[in-house]
Each structure stands twice: as structure tokens, then as C-alpha cells.
Amino acid sequence: MQITQQERDAVYKTIFARRDVRREFISDAIPDEVIERILLAAHHAPSVGFMQPWDFIVVKNPATKTKIKQGFLQAHEEAAELFTGERKRQYQGLKLEGIEESPVGICVTCDRKRTGPVVLGRTAKPEMDLFSSVCAVQNLWLAARAENLGMGWVSIVHDDVIRDALNIPQDIDIIAYLCLGYVKAFHTTPDLQRAGWLPRKSLESSVHFESWPEVDDQVK
């Protein structure tokens, strides 16, 4: 199946327009068929040994979101103590989640035992199943953007908080808690870039040919 130029351009547009959304959510409900399409896209991510180790927990209950939000606030305070001076003040002023504002939360997990102890492609690099689950997150993110939905990945929360709130067994790895919803608008640049936290690196600085660059080349 060939991809047309128009279809190709739409894919690139979606990639470059994707944002980690934290503050722009509105309360409009997401139709169930839209959520199903997004999850179907996530479910078609590549996976090592075709083990498809992911599960998706859809969260709409406000009480559950509040539990997770409280866990975020605790982890956020802990994280703030790791910074000092102006960097700490800047961190404390950032909006880093939309747990209660977004109408839907999605937790992505990884069952590392799903197809048995020996998995094709995971023998030399055992973490490949975790990477596969992250690919599912990226598929979900791009599908959400193609549906004109905002999504934010909440990483500042301890796994045991999410595990307790969503009744996730101890032997299941938690990959991501995602906030999903329609938004007022999408920004043209990432929040942290716009806030001056860090600039975007150039592609040239990240691409090397044939081998890792010499130290002197990296300094340049």
C-alpha cells in the first residue's frame, strides 16, 4: 500500500504539531468511538516478538483522578527540593499536569510475562518489552493529535500511587499515566521551550555518521 503525498504530509504535520498538554483542557466529553480509535492505534504499535505486552486502563472517575493528583502533588514537592535557586523557583511555577482538568486518563502498563520467559528479540536486550509499550504511548499520542485531542504524560508521580488507585498487580509494570481531552488551543512550541527551561537541540547536533563523535567534535 503506497502512501500518497497528501497522506505523508498529514503524518508529518501531526508529528510536528504534537504537544505535551497540561493547562489547556476543556471539559467536553470525548466520544467513545474516538477513544476506541486512539486505543486501536496504540494497540498497533510494534512490539518485540509480537508479544503486545501493553494494557490500557481508561479513567473517568473524578475520585480516582483526585487520588492520582494527590500523588502528583507529593512527588512534585519532592522534585522541587532537588533544584536550587532560580531553577527551583522556575520549576515551582510550571504547570506540569492536567489530571483533574482532563476528562479522560489512560494508564499504559506492560506485562513482561505475557508470552512466557523467553521472547523472540528480547534475549539479548530484555528491556525491549518496555520499549515496545512506550511505542504504544507514542502511537496513542499521535492518534490523539490527529483527532484534535490534547494529551499530557504525567511522570511526576510514584508508581505505588497509580498502582493503588487503579488496582494494578505488583507484577505489572506501569509505563505511563496520560491525560487526554479537547483543548482551547494547541501551542506552536512546547511548554518547556516557551518557558525557557531548555531550548530545542538542532538535528545536526544529534546525528552522527559511522561512529560516536570524538570529544572535541562534541564540544564544537
pLDDT single digits (tens) 12-57: 999 999 999 998 999 999 999 999 999 999 999 999 999 999 999 9
Q: Give the pLDDT score at 7.
A: 97
- Rounded distance between C-alpha atoms, residue 68 and residue 73, angstroms: 9
Is the Cα torsion angle 168, 170, 173, 174 positive or negative in sign? positive
- The domains of the chain, with CATH numbers, are 14-219 (3.40.109.10)
Q: Give the pLDDT score at 216.
A: 62
Nearest Cα residue to 176 out of 90, 97, 92, 122: 97
Q: Give the pLDDT score at 218.
A: 57
Q: Give the pLDDT score at 55.
A: 98
What's the Cα-to-Cα distance from 96 to each of 75, 195, 202, 207, rounded to whole Å?
Answer: 12, 12, 25, 30
Residue 8 has pLDDT above 60, yes or no: yes
pLDDT band at 214 (very low <50, low <70, confident <90, very high): confident
pLDDT single digits (tens) 111-124: 999 999 999 999 99
pLDDT single digits (tens) 58-113: 999 999 999 999 999 999 999 999 999 999 999 999 999 999 999 999 999 999 99
- Rounded distance between C-alpha atoms, residue 196 and residue 88, angstroms: 13
CB-neighbour burial class of residue 163 (10 A; exposed 0-12, middle 13-18, buried 19+) = middle
Residue 215 has pLDDT above 80, yes or no: no
pLDDT single digits (tens) 141-199: 999 999 999 999 999 999 999 999 999 999 999 999 999 999 999 999 998 899 899 99
pLDDT band at 219 (very low <50, low <70, confident <90, very high): low
Q: Give the pLDDT score at 100.
A: 97
Q: What is the three-class DSSP state of 67?
A: helix
Name the residue type at position 22: R
Which residues are CB-contacts of 196 (< 8 A; sequence separation ≥ 6)? 90
Do residues 76 and 156 make contact, with C-beta atoms less than 8 angstroms apart?
Answer: yes
Question: DSSP assignment, residue 100?
Answer: T
Nearest Cα residue to 177 out of 155, 199, 148, 151: 155
